[in-house]
Structure formats: C-alpha cells, structure tokens
Amino acid sequence: MGRIIALDYGQKRTGIAVTDPLQMIANSLQTVQSSEVISFLLQYTAKEKVDAFVVGYPRQMNNTLSESVKYIDPFIALLKKTFPDKEVFLMDERFTSKIAVQTMIAGGVKKKDRQNKGLIDAISATIILQSYLEYRSNFPI
C-alpha cells in the first residue's frame, strides 16, 4: 500500500501533506512554491510509493465553485497528465485556512509564527487529507 498526498494548491505556494504507508494518519510534509510542485512530486514519488493525490477544491458558501478554480483546474489537469496511473480526488477546502489558524492558536503557536502563510498552507493540506481519510472511512471509495 502506498501513501496518499494532499495538496492545498495556491497561486504562490502549495501546502503538502502525506499519509503514513498504511494510509491511516495525515501528516504535514512541507510547503513548496506552486511553480515547483510537479517537480517536487516527481522526486517524492521516485522515492516513496504513492497511490493517490487529494487536491483541495475551493467552493463558496452556497456550494458553487470559487473563482480560484480557474488556476486550480489547469493544475489538476497537469497532475493527472504527469501521473496517469494515480487517482486524483477533490476535497472541499472551505474553511481549512481558518481551521489551520485556530489549530495553531490551540496548540500555543506564537502570533509571529501564525503569520507564516507557508505553515498555514501545510496545515491546511493536512486538514484536507484528514477530511479525505474520514470521508473514505465513512463512504469507502
């Protein structure tokens, strides 16, 4: 069994989270520049077995797609083209950044560190991945 990678794709940065090999626990991996995500994933998948990707997909409060999809959809197409043997799942990413900040506050992270957008992106990717794992356990795919 391989790992699952979650991506909180943004115009500048992308937060990345990964499961353990048994696909039970979501862990923050790192944040990379969005222009370097595919290169990073190629290097990572050369070293680690990866079964699938989960991409945070932005929706509005009324469940319509956010304007952000205009730059996420091309990324998803490139991800599928680069890794045709891997499944790509989309997960609603509403509120993940706010939840990430609240998690940092609850964890006692200093205010200065909470302003690190890269850290917020990595935690958001972890939240997206954990949401996917919970969804999958309730509704097996």
pLDDT tens track for 95-129: 666 666 566 567 676 777 666 676 677 888 998 99
Q: What is the largest CA-CA distance in the chain?
A: 42
pLDDT given at position 140: 66
pLDDT given at position 67: 75
Phi-psi region of 5 (alpha: psi -120 to 50; beta: other; left: phi over 0): beta
Beta strands in 1-141 (DSSP E): 3-9, 13-19, 26-33, 50-57, 87-92
Q: Are 20 and 89 in contact (CB under 8 A)?
A: no
Q: Token digits for 8?
A: 């909180």
7-59, pLDDT tens digit by residue? 999 899 999 999 999 999 999 999 999 999 999 999 999 999 999 999 998 87
Chain center to CA of 49? 17
**CATH architecture of the domain with residue range 3-138:** 2-Layer Sandwich (3.30)
Q: Token digits for 82?
A: 């680069």
Q: Are 136 and 6 in contact (CB under 8 A)?
A: no
| Residue extents of the structural domains in the chain | 3-138
**Has residue 81 got a pLDDT over 80?**
yes
In this prediction the pTM is: 0.85
